[in-house]
Amino acid sequence: MSLGFLSISAGATARSPLLDAALGGGARSEVRDGWEVVSSFGDPTAERSACIESVGFADLSHLTKLELQHDGARPFAAGEALRLPGGWRCPVRPRLDLLLAEPSAAAALRPGLEAEGRVCDLTGSLGALAIAGPLAREVFARFCALDLREGSMPVRGFRPGSVARTPGYVLHERPERFLVLFGAAYGQYFWEVVADAVERLGGRPVGTDSLPAIDEEPARA
């Protein structure tokens, strides 16, 4: 495959662009699907509570991100992402979609996508942070001018735009949970910006295991 060097190979562990910052903040990590993933910050109960009562943010940069350039009709509306098994298909431009998937689910998606158009692996190009909790929108309001109100950005809403003064994307994954994608080279900067906003609002960084599942009913404090 001529673009194989863009993808994560089996020979070494992959590291998120946010990992150093997370480890510096007390993160505990383990290797999953070839990635060193932050599973917790040492207190899963408090982390889970933060996502229910205030806000938590977690590094999901290990998600596979595939760019699909195609010339077919899109099966879903502009500005609205399509839920796939283990992932999302997000419209960026009329002929360009971004596929997000757990690494374990990505391999199954890829053949179908390649039949549709040209696929390019952007996993390493984009960092990803989930921001979850009732104050998630307030967190975004601290560094992002996108209108993320429910009426403008309902669940499944997907929007490219400026996030923390850099080009990015925001996906409304479920009530009170957003996924923000940004240039991987901005990883440390992004961590600083989001941590600053979250901690000011009483939230905290959380491990991926503490995030509310996308398809789970929202819990209430």
Partner 1 sequence: MSGGRLAENGGQRIRRGEELRFTFDGDSRVGLAGDTIASALYAGGQRTFSRSFKYHRRRGELCGCGQCANSLVTVDGAPGVRACGEPLRDGMQVEHQNAWPSLELDVMRATDLVGGPFTPPGFYYKTFIRPRRLWPLYEKVLRSAAGLGKLRRRQPEREWRTEYRRRHCDVLVVGGGIAGLSAALRAAQLGADVVLCDEDVEPGGSLLFEGGHERARDLAARCREAGVEILTRAPGLGYFDGLVPVWQGDVLHQVRAARHVAATGTLAQPLVFPENDLPGVMLAPGALRLAALYGVDPGRCAIAGVDDRALETALSLHRLGVQVAVVADLRPDADSELTAALETAGIELMRGVTPVRAGGSKQLAEVQVGPVDPSGRLRGSARRIACDVLAVAGPQAPASSLLLQSGARARFDDTLQSFLPQEAPPLIHPAGAVAGHADAESAMLSGAVAGAEAALALGFGEREDRDRLASERAKLEAEAPTVRRAAPPAKSHDGGRGKAFVDLDEDITAKDVAYAAAEGYDSLELSKRYTTVTMGPSQGRFSQLASARVLGEVTGRPLGEIGVTTARPPWTTVPMGALAGRPFEAAKRSSIHARHRDLGATVRWAGDWRRAYDYGDVEGETMAVHEGAGLIDVSTLGKLIVRGPDAGELLDRLYPNRMSTLKPGRIRYGVLTSESGRISDDGTVCRLDDDTFYVTTTSSGATAVERWFTWWMASWPELDVTLTDVTQGVAAMNLAGPGSRDILAKLTDADVSNEGIAYLDGPQLAIAGIDCLVLRIGFVGELGYELHCAAPQARGLWDAVADSGARPFGLEPQRILRLQKMHILVGQDTDSETTPYGANLDFAVKLDKEQDFIGRWALEHYEERPPAQKLVGFTCPGGEVPTEGAAIVEGDRVVGQVTSSRRAPKLESSIGLALVEPRLAEDGASISISDDGRRIAAAVQTRPFYDPDGELLRS
Question: Which residues contribute to the site for partner 1 (CB under 8 A)?
Answer: 2-17, 20, 35, 61, 67, 69, 118, 120-126, 138, 140-145, 147, 149, 151-152, 164-166, 183-189, 192-193, 196, 200
Q: Which residue's CB is nearer to partner 1, number 107 or number 145?
A: 145
* Least gap, CB of 44 to partner 1 (angstroms): 25
Residue 3 or 77: the one with the smaller Cβ distance to partner 1 is: 3
Least Å from the CB of residue 42 to partner 1: 21
Paired tokens of 144? 């992002």
- Select 4 or 72, whichever has its Cβ closest to partner 1: 4
User: Which is nearer to partner 1, 50 or 122 (by Cβ)?
Assistant: 122
Instruction: Please say which residue, 145 or 219, places its beta carbon nearer to partner 1.
Output: 145
Minimum gap (Å) between residue 171 Cβ and partner 1: 18
* Rg over CA atoms, the chain: 17
> Shortest distance, CB of residue 7 to partner 1, whole angstroms?
6
C-beta of residue 131 within 8 angstroms of C-beta of residue 55? yes
Residue 191: CB minimum distance to partner 1, A: 10
